[in-house]
Chain A
């Protein structure tokens, strides 16, 4: 396979990887917006069809086009994941900054909170929160948001602690600048790229957890074309051999998650001065 392609150097590989993953994500999102909802409507004449040119992903037991359902579901997942990951990043920013700048007491509390949040399996916590909020999109988003911040908080806290001891920050303090000045002018600009990349790397986890919780029945409502719903519904039809109901939606989810991951990883390398010039 590789000898057919011209050999790319690392920079070219990097650009190609980024372009391909951004392209695929773009197509999925664009398709989600442009696609009409016709495929989601029940069409009893076209039930249980295996994949064909007209229905590349096949149809389900109500004759709905699986391609349309998958694309709509992916967009829903991307939206929920994006919202949850961003909120999680926000929590990480606030707690990380607070732990790093507000003194020992706050630091202890935040470290303890991180331990607390890591003390239970993510999935069980999300189930509990979704249960407490009575399910639905709000429950999933809150659940994912409240479980994914600890690792990023640790990173940001460490970064802030390191910056605080930097000489120019010490000098700035001696010059009488306030805590607020130091936090917004010296520390925040260094943290923002970290935060951005960190959030992007949280994003795949958020999507996967959303799909998993929805699959278990705690997440998005069955009326929405979420990937988790599609997969859990497919379970009753798998033993009759309708493999396409599960195969394509899951595969597309895998592709989308991997693309987001590649994008995040490439951005991280780009922002890291050690590897940016390789």
Chain B
């Protein structure tokens, strides 16, 4: 069994590597096609002051005068040494930028992920148990409407209501303005985190809730629940003994498999709240033509999603006794 698991993990990792290599080739090709001139994007408004010789020098400095295939080779060689290049806009090693930014994003995404998981599950269970009632209808309607809601608009509304009108939360940024880095306490950070995290979690609720509701309804229609009812168990005991375990596993897996939407949502939420995370860096890198950073973030997001799916697969294998005992293998 352990050997099986090991083979499974190895296979997945191999697949991931292949996927990453193909993705980097495609992304590199896309970038070489871009009409956005990286030098102009780099220099910005001072473009008029840059002569042809200087331009040549910058091109040589960034290695932009070589054909794309050569550049890709150089890049791949550098990556194998653990060097992802230097970000043009942040003037820091790309790895450094991603590390700093992702730490900030991780706090945001983690909080939103937990919130949406817990609330989504609770709503789904409530709707499933009360299937067919007005409460169920309301929860369903609420979730379906959320699924059609542009997340960034929701963020703007939260900003207007809670930051501008009520003044409960700051209007943006990850830390208070005008305070030195070392004087920022974690409470300050948390305070700036709450509004974007709530925004991000609200849209994430819908998927889990609807899925959990459907699963629970399936379970409640099963023979063993019918038997439990015949024995005279109450709704609550039925849910506790027969429903919860059967419903929790798919919900957890779904939550891990939704890393892609989480990442996309965080790009938008960070833009709305000017939260200095990886999402904001993505937008900046794209708008200002920071090729090394954009490439690295794109690949990083792929690894992020893969990790989520991987954990979801692993949970199924390790937790579900049917798969663990090799019944469904």
**Which B residues touch A253, using CB under 8 A?**
150, 153
Stretch at the interface among A30-38, A80-88, A214-222, A269-277: A214-222
A215 in contact with B282 given A132-B34, A253-B153, A254-B148 (CB within 8 Å)? no
Report if B159 contacts A (CB, 8 A). Answer: yes
Q: Are A250 and B153 in contact (CB under 8 A)?
A: yes
For window 105-147 of A, CB contacts with B under 8 Å fall at 115-116, 118-124, 127-134
Report if B250 contacts A (CB, 8 A). Answer: no
Q: Are A124 and B297 in contact (CB under 8 A)?
A: yes
**Which A residues touch B145, using CB under 8 A?**
254, 258
How far is it, in angstroms, between the C-alpha of A234 and the C-alpha of B152 when the chains are bound?
12
A131 in contact with B286 given A116-B23, A208-B150, A216-B271 (CB within 8 Å)? yes
What is the minimal beta-carbon distance from A113 to any residue of chain B, in angstroms?
10
Q: Are B282 and A250 in contact (CB under 8 A)?
A: no
Report if A247 contacts B (CB, 8 A). Answer: yes
Report if B118 contacts A (CB, 8 A). Answer: no
Report if A257 contacts B (CB, 8 A). Answer: yes
**Which A residues touch B148, using CB under 8 A?**
204, 208, 254, 257-258, 261
**Which A residues touch B272, using CB under 8 A?**
235
Report if A238 contacts B (CB, 8 A). Answer: yes
Q: Are A239 and B171 in contact (CB under 8 A)?
A: yes
Q: Are B152 and A212 in contact (CB under 8 A)?
A: yes
Q: Using an 8 Å CB-CB cutoff, how does the interface string of B264-282 with A read, 1 for contact, 0 for none?
A: 1001100110000000001
Q: Are A134 and B34 in contact (CB under 8 A)?
A: yes
CB-contact partner of A120 in B153, B268, B301, under 8 A: B301
Stretch at the interface among B25-33, B77-85, B184-192: B25-33
**Which B residues touch A168, using CB under 8 A?**
none
Interface of B is mostly: helix
Report if A211 contacts B (CB, 8 A). Answer: yes
Report if A243 contacts B (CB, 8 A). Answer: yes
Report if A246 contacts B (CB, 8 A). Answer: yes
Report if B5 contacts A (CB, 8 A). Answer: no
Report if A103 contacts B (CB, 8 A). Answer: no
**Which B residues touch A258, using CB under 8 A?**
144-145, 148
Report if B263 contacts A (CB, 8 A). Answer: yes
**Which A residues touch B165, using CB under 8 A?**
241
Nearest residue (CB) in A for B27 is A128
Q: Using an 8 Å CB-CB cutoff, how does the interface string of B24-48 with A read, 1 for contact, 0 for none?
A: 0001001101111000000000000
Q: Are B301 and A231 in contact (CB under 8 A)?
A: no
Report if B283 contacts A (CB, 8 A). Answer: yes
What is the minimal beta-carbon distance from B103 to any residue of chain A, in angstroms?
19
For window 122-158 of B, CB contacts with A under 8 Å fall at 144-145, 147-153, 156-157
**Which B residues touch A211, using CB under 8 A?**
150
A250 in contact with B157 given A217-B287, A258-B144 (CB within 8 Å)? yes
Report if B315 contacts A (CB, 8 A). Answer: no
**Which B residues touch A218, using CB under 8 A?**
286-287
**Which B residues touch A120, using CB under 8 A?**
23, 260, 298, 301-302, 305
How far is it, in angstroms, between the C-alpha of A133 and the C-alpha of B34 when the chains are bound?
6
What is the minimal beta-carbon distance from B28 to any residue of chain A, in angstroms?
10
CB-contact partner of A119 in B144, B156, B163, B306, under 8 A: B306
Q: Are B156 and A234 in contact (CB under 8 A)?
A: yes
CB-contact partner of A131 in B31, B144, B157, B261, under 8 A: B31
Nearest residue (CB) in B for A2 is B134
Q: Are A231 and B34 in contact (CB under 8 A)?
A: no
Q: Are B283 and A127 in contact (CB under 8 A)?
A: yes
For window 8-27 of B, CB contacts with A under 8 Å fall at 19, 22-23, 27
**Which A residues touch B267, using CB under 8 A?**
121, 123-124, 127, 216
For window 227-278 of A, CB contacts with B under 8 Å fall at 231, 234-235, 238-239, 241, 243, 246-247, 250, 253-254, 257-258, 261
Report if B294 contacts A (CB, 8 A). Answer: yes
How far is it, in angstroms, between the C-alpha of A215 and the C-alpha of B150 when the chains are bound?
11
Nearest residue (CB) in B for A134 is B35
Q: Are B264 and A122 in contact (CB under 8 A)?
A: yes
CB-contact partner of A215 in B36, B147, B152, B289, under 8 A: B152
**Which A residues touch B27, using CB under 8 A?**
128
**Which B residues touch A204, using CB under 8 A?**
148
Q: Using an 8 Å CB-CB cutoff, how does the interface string of A7-49 with B read, 1 for contact, 0 for none?
A: 0000000000000000000000000000000000000000000
Q: Using an 8 Å CB-CB cutoff, how does the interface string of B282-303 with A read, 1 for contact, 0 for none?
A: 1100110100001001100110
**Which A residues touch B59, using CB under 8 A?**
none
Q: Are B283 and A216 in contact (CB under 8 A)?
A: yes
How far is it, in angstroms, between the C-alpha of A215 and the C-alpha of B151 when the chains are bound?
11
Q: Are B282 and A127 in contact (CB under 8 A)?
A: yes
Report if B164 contacts A (CB, 8 A). Answer: yes
Interface contacts beyond A118-B260, A120-B260, A212-B151: sample of 10 additional A-B pairs, CB < 8 Å, sorted by A? A116-B22, A119-B306, A121-B301, A128-B30, A132-B31, A132-B34, A133-B33, A243-B164, A246-B156, A261-B144
Q: Give the 6 A-B CB pairs with smallest separation, nearest first.
A: A250-B153, A123-B264, A132-B30, A134-B35, A257-B148, A258-B148
Between-chain CB contacts (< 8 Å), 5 pairs: A215-B150, A238-B164, A246-B156, A253-B150, A257-B150
